[in-house]
Amino acid sequence: MPQVTTVRRAPAGRDRTPLPGLTSEVARLRPELPSLAEEIGAEIRHSVAEFDHPCRGRDQGDLRSVVEQALERFVDRAADPPAPRDHEIKVFRDLGRGEYRAGRDLAALQAAYRVAARVGWRRIAEVGRRAGWPAERMSLLAEMVFAYVEEIAEYSVQGYAQARQSTTDRLKSLRRRLFELVLSEDQATSGEALADLAREADWRLPATVAGVAIADWDAGAGRLAPAIGPDVLMDLERPDPRLLVPDPDAPGRQDMLARALRDTPFAIGPSVSLAEAALSVRLAGQALSLVRRGVIRCDHYVRCSDELSTLLLSHNEDVIRLMTARRYGPLAALKPQQRDRLDETLLAWLASGGRAPEIAARLHVHAQTVRYRMRRLQELFGDEMNDPDWKFEMEIVLRTKLLLKDE
């Protein structure tokens, strides 16, 4: 992105309006303007490499025209200080806008302004010496020349900044629309529109993406650190701020997010195809919700790919509640301490295949203790314990209970 080179501004409060009584000096300067415009143009082309050839993107006729307008406006100002300045403001702001749109910074244009000031003052000084102008008049004219060039250079900085802001705002708007389209869940019918909008927003369509959910983000108070990649789509103004990260498995991508989000907790959705971006963003949001509930522990960020089973169980709590009512009844009637011991023994039995020594090692208890507990479970559930469907559902119930135990 082109950078703005700042122009030294006049100190606050400086009166740029020249003193009256320069009518005779202006009358002597006007005949000099055509040749002075030619001299300034030639010196700019000689001294500033970016202006030395038309192939560099600047029309030589335009350069002469701008120099002529600047000189005319300068002598008009000297003759009539209160004269309207709208035209010169537009001309020189347009110059700044043109530099931005051409992908250039302002260094060359500002160098051209300095050359114009130097050459212009040199000619005015020659005219003044020939005419015998007093030192007071010469000093006043010198101040006017350099103040005028500083002023029009400032207009160019303003135009450059306005063009850059306009482009930035437009790009942000396009990328927000692109983000919404990517998450629309209906990419089968919007594929062509997506590709068109991506081109307009200068965004390369990636092979894979990952959604990111951000916790406690204040859109009015904070901005992402500069570490965030320019290809990351985002909407930080929605109630649940989200990002979409292209190529999330590339080296350094998660570190980039950690640096950019600093102390803000966040969740990274699984890597998916662009067509499944909405799924990744949705899972990231669910993971962040579980972090808030304390179901998932998170020092700074959590990766959904490490928590898929937790997401699966927590996303179907209503179904699991019905499953619990159907399968867990005999254990629910026990005292909490007894129930907890039988819960962990039954889950270990389901996970290990039923061998008492393995269960004992897993639970750090004696094998005889395991055998006692298993007899108790057999009394409670009987032949159901041989049913594969019962085993499957009971394991889901027990794992969910364990997962949500600390809530």
Chain-centre distance of CA 159, in angstroms?
24
Sign of CA dihedral 110, 114, 115, 119: positive
CA distance 128 to 57: 37
Stretch 288-305: mean pLDDT: 89
Average pLDDT rounded to a whole number, residues 276-298: 90
Residue-wise pLDDT for 98-124, tens only, equals 888 888 889 999 999 999 999 999 999
Confidence (pLDDT) at 37: 92
Check: CB of residue 311 under 8 Å from CB of residue 399: no
Q: CA-CA distance, 140 to 117, in Å (whole number)?
A: 15
Percent of the chain with pLDDT over 70: 87
39 three-state secondary structure: helix
Question: Read out DSSP for 4-15?
Answer: PPPPPPPPTT--
What's the mean per-residue pLDDT of the chain? 84
Residue 164's nearest CA partner among 98, 116, 229 is: 98
- As a whole number of angstroms, the distance between CA 7 and CA 1 comes to 19
Higher model confidence: residue 374 or residue 59?
374
Q: Two tokens at 100? A: 């931005």
Helix (H) or strand (E) holding 245: strand 242-246
Share of the chain above pLDDT 90, in %: 38
Give residue 387's identity as a one-letter amino acid code. D
Decide if 224 contacts 236 (C-beta within 8 A): yes
Range list of H helices, 216-335? 253-261, 277-293, 308-315, 317-327, 329-332
Per-residue model confidence as pLDDT tens digits over 60-73: 567 888 899 899 88
pTM here? 0.60
Given a contact cutoff of 8 angstroms between Cβ atoms, the answer to whether 268 and 307 are in contact is: no
Q: Which pLDDT belongs to residue 5?
A: 44
Q: Where are the domains of the chain?
A: 23-166, 206-314, 316-403
Determine the Cα–Cα distance for residues 234 and 175; give it in Å rounded to an integer: 8
What mean pLDDT do residues 283-289 have?
93
Distance of CA 85 to CAs 9, 70, 143, Å? 18, 11, 19
What residues form DSSP beta bridges with 303? Answer: 268
| Lowest model confidence (mean pLDDT) among 96-100, 216-220, 369-373, 384-388 | 216-220
Fold of 206-314: Alpha-Beta Plaits (3.30.70)
18: confidence class by pLDDT, cuts 50, 70, 90: very low
| Residue-wise DSSP of 318-351 | HHHHHHHHHH-HHHHTS-HHHHHHHHHHHHHHHH
| Residue 203 DSSP symbol | -
CB 244 within 8 A of CB 232: yes
Name 20's Cβ contacts closer than 8 Å, sequence gap at least 6. 81
pLDDT at 297 over 90: no
Cα–Cα distance for residue pair 63/46, rounded to 1 Å = 13
The top-scoring range by mean pLDDT among 21-30, 183-192, 292-301 is 292-301
Question: What residue has token string 């990766």?
Answer: 303
- Any idea which fold 316-403 has? Arc Repressor Mutant, subunit A (1.10.10)
Q: For tokens 């529109």, what's the residue?
A: 193
CA-wise closest residue to 234 among 174, 173, 179: 179
DSSP string, 290-306: HHHHTSS--SSEEEGGG
Q: For residue 403, give every residue at least 6 positions away whose Cβ sits within 8 Å of its Cβ, in sequence order, or none.
A: 295, 310, 313, 314
The helix, strand and coil proportions of the chain, stated in percent and rounded to the nearest 5, come to 65, 5, 30
Measure the CA–CA gap between 304 and 283, rounded to whole angstroms.
7
228 Cβ contact list (under 8 Å, min separation 6): 234, 256, 257, 260
Q: Which of 346, 341, 334 is nearest to 396 (CA)?
A: 346
Mean pLDDT, range 5-33, rounded to an integer? 60
Considering the domain 23-166, what is its CATH architecture? Orthogonal Bundle (1.10)
